[in-house]
């Protein structure tokens, strides 16, 4: 059975083509094959006829999965099938957010000799779907595990050159993408949440002498760019003090969309990063920007820098330094105002006139109970240890005492007597009880209410969620690049992948892991037939169809290629 064309010549010399559904039938009497017309569709140049044929073909393909075709016709052979729905969705989000267009515009003035946009999308998609090394991404993932249009001609050196291009133009690309995304998704950019984390490397020695001599070379670099040696030993946030690290800063919106990221040497202290962050964001000419940070960003110089030029900030304050927070804010009498079941607030003013400082003392009853229970268990264990020490031999006794004093779990509750013995310090235990379930926030924005300040700081968890996604889901660590500009580019690729994930999660109201698992059920199959090669997409499942509808993405075409 096939689609037959019948041509008729008119008196004016024009030729009209008609489309018919026909089949060849064997005539036993005449001992030959004859054509039998099953249906006349009409003229080939009629748009209505073309539309009817398209609907007919679509309905037929829905009933014919690759497995059915192979089973019914031995001349068809299923070569392989790949997960397709997740890659298809990332591609649609990539184009909708204008990232592909922005990268193409940036690369238009350079003669790179390959499609840099396709290379960058392949690595960004790999972060979201597999999170493997660049070498594995090229040798295995792109060749065997997925099918991404336009990546067949890419080689390994193209991936690395695309990373160099991204790093050389990162600021312009990041700026253009943010404003495009903020406009398309109507993001709230009045509040910017900022935090840092550490990213370790599985090496023994830190970088030495790589500073200004380590430059980006190649036709893709607009100039020469120098980098400080990034892998340094510092204060790790994941307990890996035995290896070098870098410090990564990230600013996100209220919805959790990344605004911009920074890469600092591993020995950078969090509090010293604020000046650069504030200066870089000021250049983006945002409207009203409220900077939200945690206690690691607090210093006198940072408060001045953040308030300079009418800037507004909201910071969590350290409580154990013995300053005015401990002496006046925590000790100030007054009733708490209930905001939620797990949050109570009390506003405290310190000083008078224009130099007054406004604080909000926040109290979480549930967290306070959890901390009291935890401390009770620690003290019970500590008392048992101290009782055991009284019966131990002198040499063993000394070693165990040193271990207890150095312990972060027990040392804070101990004191050393004049006779050199350890005792439980009741004053330290009582002092610790003052801080149960409490935190203090400070802002120079008088338009914010006490509730706004408390809830605004609690939304800093958006950055924590981003860190968990970057490190676990997108496998930002451990990193194996050694060149500084490649390290920077690796972080930039992962942040781009985070942007696509956040767009999908924002639309579906679910985690990317669940969304990805539903979409992976849409598969792409390659079939060999007597008439050529067919690339067919399987029918989406009900869950996958629901995901595509939430994302406002059209279902993929049933046939991608027919050769």
Q: What percentage of the chain carries pLDDT values higher than 70?
A: 90
Structural domain contains residue 285: yes
Give the residue numbers spanning the domain of 314. 194-349+441-479
3-state SS, residue 480: coil
Question: Is residue 389 domain-shared with residue 312, that is, in the same domain?
Answer: no
Of the three residues 377, 407, 433, the one that is the final residue of a domain is: 433
As for how many domains the chain has, the answer is 4
pLDDT for 1-51, tens place per residue?
A: 778 888 888 888 888 888 888 888 888 888 888 888 888 888 888 888 888
Question: Is residue 446 domain-shared with residue 548, that is, in the same domain?
Answer: no
pLDDT at residue 372, rounded to an integer: 94
pLDDT for 335-374, tens place per residue?
A: 999 988 889 999 999 888 777 888 999 999 999 999 999 9
Structural domain contains residue 30: yes
Question: Is residue 321 domain-shared with residue 466, that is, in the same domain?
Answer: yes
Of the three residues 33, 63, 93, the one that is the final residue of a domain is: 63
Question: Is residue 205 domain-shared with residue 331, that is, in the same domain?
Answer: yes
Section 406-415 average pLDDT: 89
Pick from 244-253, 391-400, 425-434, 500-509: least confident: 391-400
Question: Is residue 275 domain-shared with residue 389, that is, in the same domain?
Answer: no
Structural domain contains residue 110: no
The string of DSSP letters for 190-217 reads SEEEEEEEEEEBS-SSPP-S-TTT-B--
Q: How far is CA 427 from CA 382, 495, 541, in A?
A: 16, 47, 64
State residue 263 phi and psi, 5-degree precision: -120, 125
From the list 313, 321, 320, the residue with the least C-alpha distance to 274 is 313
Question: Is residue 314 domain-shared with residue 450, that is, in the same domain?
Answer: yes
| Residue 377 scores a pLDDT above 90 | yes
Whether 519 and 503 have beta carbons less than 8 Å apart is answered as no
List of residues 6+ apart from 69 with CB closer than 8 A: 76, 527
pLDDT for 209-219, tens place per residue?
A: 543 333 333 33
Structural domain contains residue 78: yes
From the list 512, 513, 494, the residue with the least C-alpha distance to 503 is 512
Structural domain contains residue 505: no
Tokens 């408390």 map to which residue?
Answer: 454
Question: Is residue 232 domain-shared with residue 294, that is, in the same domain?
Answer: yes
| Residue 562 scores a pLDDT above 80 | no
Question: Is residue 201 domain-shared with residue 291, that is, in the same domain?
Answer: yes
The string of DSSP letters for 324-376 reads HIIIIITT---PPEEEETTEEEEEEEESSGGG-EEEEEEE-HHHHHHHHHHHH
Question: Is residue 465 domain-shared with residue 414, that is, in the same domain?
Answer: no
Structural domain contains residue 168: no
Question: Is residue 337 domain-shared with residue 198, that is, in the same domain?
Answer: yes
| Residue 227 scores a pLDDT above 70 | no
pLDDT for 136-183, tens place per residue?
A: 888 889 888 888 988 988 999 999 999 999 999 998 999 899 888 888
**Torsion sign across C-alpha atoms 271, 275, 278, 281:** negative
pLDDT for 459-479, tens place per residue?
A: 777 778 887 888 777 778 777
Structural domain contains residue 93: no
What angle, 0 to 180 degrees and rounded to 10, lies between the N-to-C axes of helices 484-508 and 85-96?
A: 100
Distance CA 429, CA 3 (A): 87
Which one is predicted more confidently, 128 or 389? Answer: 128
Of the three residues 15, 30, 63, the one that is the final residue of a domain is: 63
Q: Per the structure block, which two tokens stand in for 434?
A: 């003052």
Whether 440 and 329 have beta carbons less than 8 Å apart is answered as yes
Question: Is residue 339 domain-shared with residue 460, that is, in the same domain?
Answer: yes
Structural domain contains residue 151: no
From the list 200, 196, 178, 355, the residue with the least C-alpha distance to 274 is 196
Distance CA 181, CA 499 (A): 9
pLDDT at residue 215, rounded to an integer: 33
Question: Is residue 260 domain-shared with residue 340, that is, in the same domain?
Answer: yes
- Maximum mean pLDDT: which of 53-67, 119-133, 468-482: 119-133
Tell how far CA 327 is from the center of its chain: 41
């Amino acid at each position: 059975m096939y689609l037959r064309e019948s041509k008729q010549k008119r008196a004016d010399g024009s030729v009209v083509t008609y489309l018919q559904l026909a089949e060849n039938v064997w005539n036993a009497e005449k001992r030959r094959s004859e054509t039998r017309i099953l249906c006349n569709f009409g003229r080939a140049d009629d748009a209505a006829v073309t539309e009817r044929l398209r609907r007919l073909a679509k309905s037929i393909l829905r009933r014919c999965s690759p497995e059915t075709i192979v089973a019914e016709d031995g001349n068809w052979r299923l070569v392989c099938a790949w997960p397709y729905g997740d890659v298809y969705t990332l591609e649609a989000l990539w184009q909708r957010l204008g990232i592909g267009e922005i990268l193409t515009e940036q690369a238009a003035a350079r003669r790179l000799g390959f499609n840099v946009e396709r290379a960058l999308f392949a690595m960004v998609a790999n972060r979201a779907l597999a999170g493997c090394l660049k070498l594995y991404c090229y040798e295995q993932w792109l060749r065997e595990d997925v099918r991404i249009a336009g990546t067949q001609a890419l080689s390994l050196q193209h991936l690395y050159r695309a990373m160099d291009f991204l790093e050389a133009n990162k600021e312009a690309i990041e700026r253009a993408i943010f404003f495009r995304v903020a406009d398309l998704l109507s993001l709230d950019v009045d509040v910017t949440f900022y935090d840092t984390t550490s990213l370790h490397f599985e090496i023994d020695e830190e970088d030495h002498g790589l500073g200004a001599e380590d430059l980006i070379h190649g036709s893709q670099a607009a100039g020469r760019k120098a980098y400080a040696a990034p892998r340094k030993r510092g204060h790790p946030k994941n307990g890996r003090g035995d290896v070098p690290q870098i410090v990564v800063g990230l600013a996100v919106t209220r919805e959790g969309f990344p605004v911009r990221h920074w890469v600092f040497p591993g020995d950078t202290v969090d509090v010293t990063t604020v000046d650069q962050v504030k200066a870089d964001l000021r250049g983006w000419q945002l409207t009203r920007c409220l900077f939200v940070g945690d206690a690691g960003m607090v210093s006198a110089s940072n408060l001045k820098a953040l308030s300079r030029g009418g800037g507004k900030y909201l910071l969590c304050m350290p409580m154990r330094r013995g300053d005015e927070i401990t002496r006046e804010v925590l000790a100030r009498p007054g009733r708490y105002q209930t905001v939620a079941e797990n949050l109570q607030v009390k506003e405290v003013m310190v000083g008078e006139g224009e130099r007054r400082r406004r604080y909000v003392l926040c109290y979480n009853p549930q967290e306070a109970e959890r901390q009291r229970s935890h401390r009770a268990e620690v003290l019970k264990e500590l008392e048992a240890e101290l009782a055991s020490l009284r019966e131990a031999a002198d040499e063993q006794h000394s070693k165990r005492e040193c271990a207890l004093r150095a312990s972060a779990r027990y040392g804070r509750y101990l004191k050393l007597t004049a006779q050199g013995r350890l005792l439980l310090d009741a004053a330290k235990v009582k002092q610790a009880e003052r801080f149960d379930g409490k935190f203090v926030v400070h802002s120079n924005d008088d338009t914010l209410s006490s509730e706004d300040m408390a809830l605004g700081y609690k939304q800093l968890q958006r950055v924590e969620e981003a860190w968990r996604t970057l490190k676990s889901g997108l496998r930002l660590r451990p990193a194996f690049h050694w060149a500084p500009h490649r390290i920077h580019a690796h972080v930039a690729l992962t942040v781009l992948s985070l942007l696509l994930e956040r767009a999908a999660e924002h639309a579906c109201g679910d985690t990317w892991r669940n969304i990805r698992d539903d979409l992976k059920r849409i598969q792409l199959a390659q079939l060999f037939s007597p008439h050529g090669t067919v690339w067919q997409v399987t029918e989406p499942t009900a869950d996958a169809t629901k995901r595509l509808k939430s994302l406002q993405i059209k279902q993929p075409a049933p046939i991608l290629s027919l050769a």
